[in-house]
Amino acid sequence: MAGYLEKIEELAGQARQQIARAVSLEQLEQWRLNLLGRKGQVTAILHDLGQVSPGERPLVGKQANELKNEIGRLLEERRAALEKEQLERAAARSAIDVTLPGLRPWTGSIHPLNRTLSRVNEVLYSMGFSLAEGPEIEDEFHNFDALNTPADHPARDEHDTFFLEGGLLLRSHTSPVQIRHMQANPPPVRIIAPGRVFRRDTPDATHSPIFHQVEGLYVDENVTFGDLKYTLEQFALRLFGPDTTLRFRPSFFPFTEPSAEVDCSCIFCKRKGCRICKGSGWLEILGCGMVDPSVFEAVGYDPERWTGFAFGMGIDRICLLVHSIDDIRLFLESDTGFLSQF
Ligand code: DAH
């Protein structure tokens, strides 16, 4: 019955290898069932002992039992080792290294133009103006004719306009919103109209084909230039601070008469003269004037009864000044290095 002893020997070698190489507790359990289970290979040998000749039975029995014990021990050792590995891996996964620098969560920020726009709007809302909006694609009537700028008017050339098909154009200023609002609403009127405007300008540090304006319109009976001055002065005080002063210079716009350009005392040097105001002490911030009677006629308001003032300012320019930004093109470039500073 040398066959049994050889089989035991072979099984022993195989079992030692399998157990040593088991990579998981599930696999180890599989090997245990294969060897020591009810239908396991070692169990089978012990079952067959009755068939071994009585002379050899003690030796075969002894070897088989020793194998069973050894496998039991090896299984136990390997199980302990695998469990330890599993615990160590779990611990490594959940370990917190308190010496690592923290991760700053990336947050977006408000675009500087939106910041400036919100601030301007807030101040004007607080003074009783409310929001009006109009389309970016306009027609010649609203963008020019109704604003007292007929086709042959030289002021049209100054707005290098993007013309579209069918008499349409990209609005070159926010003033057409005045016309649309008056056509749709009876006086009195107190509105502001913020929005994008478009001009065929070659981009450089101070010119962009897309920029932003806020338009204001105030219509009532007996409105005077004094009302205009007071309103804009209050606006500037609230926007730029208590020691701000304004300077009104006579100017020309087709839709206002008289018209003025308004300078604000330099927010950097307080009129001492600096690089930003080019030594003048003043910064130009808006255009304004008393609504021309022909504009009232174009929208069906009685020019004998109604009076009003209007103003328009460039938000990009104010934003550049307030933040000392030296290139208007930065506003449209979506450069997160620039934007994350705000
Ligand atoms: N629409 C003018 C422009 O874009 C700005 C402007 C000037 C608007 C005077 C006004 C105003 O309402 O009264 O150049």
Residue list, ligand 1 pocket, CB within 6 Å: 173, 175, 215, 253, 256, 287-289, 310-312
Nearest residue by C-alpha to atom 8 in ligand 1 = 312
- Name the residue with the closest Cα to ligand 1, atom 5: 312
pTM for the predicted model, two decimal places: 0.71
Query: Are 282 and 263 spatial neighbours (Cβ–Cβ below 8 Å)?
Result: yes
Residue ranges for the known binding site are 257
Q: Ligand 1 center to residue 239 CA distance, Å?
A: 19
Ligand 1 center from residue 291 Cα (angstroms): 11
Provide, for the chain, the percentages of residues in helix, strand and coil under a 3-state DSSP scheme, each rounded to the nearest 5: 45, 20, 35
Q: Bigger pLDDT: 228 or 51? A: 228
Return all residues near 341 (Cβ < 8 A) that are at least 6 apart: none
Mutate to test the pocket of ligand 1, among 259, 311, 318 (most ligand atoms within 8 A of CB): 311
Residue 2 has pLDDT above 60, yes or no: no
* Domain boundaries defined on the chain: 2-93, 112-339
**Cβ–Cβ < 8 Å for 262, 143:** no
Query: Ligand 1: which atom is nearest the Cα of residue 215?
Result: 12
How many CB atoms are located within 10 Å of the residue 41 CB? 18
Mean pLDDT in the chain? 93
Range in 1-5, 74-78, 143-147 with the lowest mean pLDDT? 1-5
Please say if the pLDDT value at position 97 is more than 70.
yes
Distance 329 CA to ligand 1 centre (A): 22
d(CA 313, CA 112): 16
Backbone angles phi, psi at 174, to 5 degrees: -90, 0
| Terminal-residue alpha carbon distance, the chain | 91
pLDDT at 182 over 50: yes
Ligand 1 atom closest to 158 (CA): 14
Binding residues for Mg(2+): 257
- 3 or 166, which is more confident: 166
Backbone angles phi, psi at 193, to 5 degrees: -130, 95
- Cβ neighbours, 10 Å, residue 206: 13
* Contact of 177 with 215, CB cutoff 8 Å: yes
Which CATH class for the 112-339 domain? alpha beta
Atom from ligand 1 closest to the CA of residue 178? 12
Main-chain dihedrals φ then ψ at residue 69, nearest 5 degrees = -65, -40
Among 142, 207, 253, 296, residue to substitute to test ligand 1 (most atoms within 8 Å of Cβ):
253
Task: Supply the residue whose CA is at minimum distance from atom 3 of ligand 1.
Answer: 173
Give the pLDDT band of residue 1 (cuts 50, 70, 90): very low
Mean pLDDT of the 243-266 span: 96
For residue range 290-321, list pLDDT tens digits in order.
999 999 999 999 999 999 999 999 999 999 99
